[in-house]
Amino acid sequence: MRGKTGADREISVNTYTGGFTTMLNHHLRNRNLSLKAVGLLSKMLSLPPDWDYSIRGLAMLNTDGIDGIRTAMKELEDEGYVALSSAAMLMVVIMLPFIFFALYEKDGQPAEKILGHVVKSMFLRDKVRPYRTNNLYSAIQRQIKEQEELQIGKQIPKGK
């Protein structure tokens, strides 16, 4: 996390297993932050990295509720301590299809091939397809009939 100071320094935190958290005093001495925002940031810095840092997850830690957490987070965001970036969400939304296409495979075919088959079957092909078969027996019968007609045509003498 970064603060908007002249040096734009990072807040370093060391959490010890003995139940102690060591942090810089910068956010504690910032006069632009309310006590609620200072307390929330201090509490966030003392939590493990895998904690649920959502508004709801943070609201479970104290009695201020979701609205109180939201106002404190807005203060921290305005001062540059917390980045609630919509750019990160936009990046995830843009990159997710590429990740899907890179990782998904079914029956040895990549996702773009499967998607192509779905598009062809749903949009490009006719909805009602005529029933057609390659009936080899009828083709053989047609060929035999043509040969018989040719032989009959050769046997009939012309001119009498």
In the chain, pLDDT over 70 holds for what percent of residues? 83
Q: CA angle, 39 as apex, 34 and 43 as ends, to 5°?
A: 150
Reported as a single tens digit per residue, the pLDDT across 89-106 is 788 788 888 888 888 888
The mean pLDDT of the chain is 80
SS3 content of the chain, % helix, strand, coil (to 5): 55, 10, 40
Q: Phi and psi of 53, rounded to 5°?
A: -85, 25
Position with higher pLDDT, 3 vs 108: 108
Q: Reply yes or no on whether the pLDDT at 13 is more than 60.
A: no
